[in-house]
Amino acid sequence: MKLPVKPVVDIAKKNGPKLVKKYGPALVSAIPEKTSLLKTPSHHRQQRYTTHSTETLQHLDSFNREQLVNLELEVEEYLNQIEEERTTKKTPVNPRLNRWMDNWKNIHRQVSSKRKNRDYIEYVKIYNNPEYQSDYFAGFEGHIRRYKELIASGDRGGVIAFITEQTGKSEKEVSKVIF
């Protein structure tokens, strides 16, 4: 015997919320805990977001530049994926994807800001003491070599332009520290 689909759906729409409200707790308690009905697998991006928002952001101070850059690239890749999904979906506005985009942009801002501020602090330390060895810049020795060459050449404008380009700080702000 086949049941007509439309009337069944209509009845479920009409009476479903009432039944769940009335019998929901009893139904949930009747399902064994280990049943996978209540557990939905989370998307990889969702798992990474949870990890980043609860753990990673709290420990950004202990990251070196390479780790911050890699994290920034990972977040940018997620932003690109979400943007691609937004453009390929049939609906023009998808609140779920918009929320995810905003969440990932927030993480990206925090990571990017931390990297730029740490870069600025390390550049100032190196400027004040050219013998300073920075563990933060491990893996970016060529980058630091160029910076130290600018310092050694006495090109104050070049040093300020370098720091401004790398950190996003204004020339006025950098000029206060670079005498």
Which pLDDT score, from 0 to 100, does residue 38 have?
A: 46
Between residues 166 and 25, the one the model is more confident about: 166
pLDDT interval class at 109 (50, 70, 90): very high
As a whole number, the mean pLDDT across the chain is 82
pLDDT in tens, 112-125: 999 999 999 999 99
Cβ 67 vs Cβ 138: under 8 Å: no
**Which letter does DSSP use for residue 91 in this model?**
S
Count of CB atoms within 10 A of residue 120's CB? Answer: 19
Mean pLDDT of 127-145: 90
Between residues 89 and 34, the one the model is more confident about: 89
Instruction: Measure Cα distances from 136 to 31, 62, 63 in Å.
Output: 52, 9, 8
d(CA 8, CA 89): 29
Domain ranges of the chain: 44-177
pLDDT in tens, 18-35: 665 666 666 555 555 554
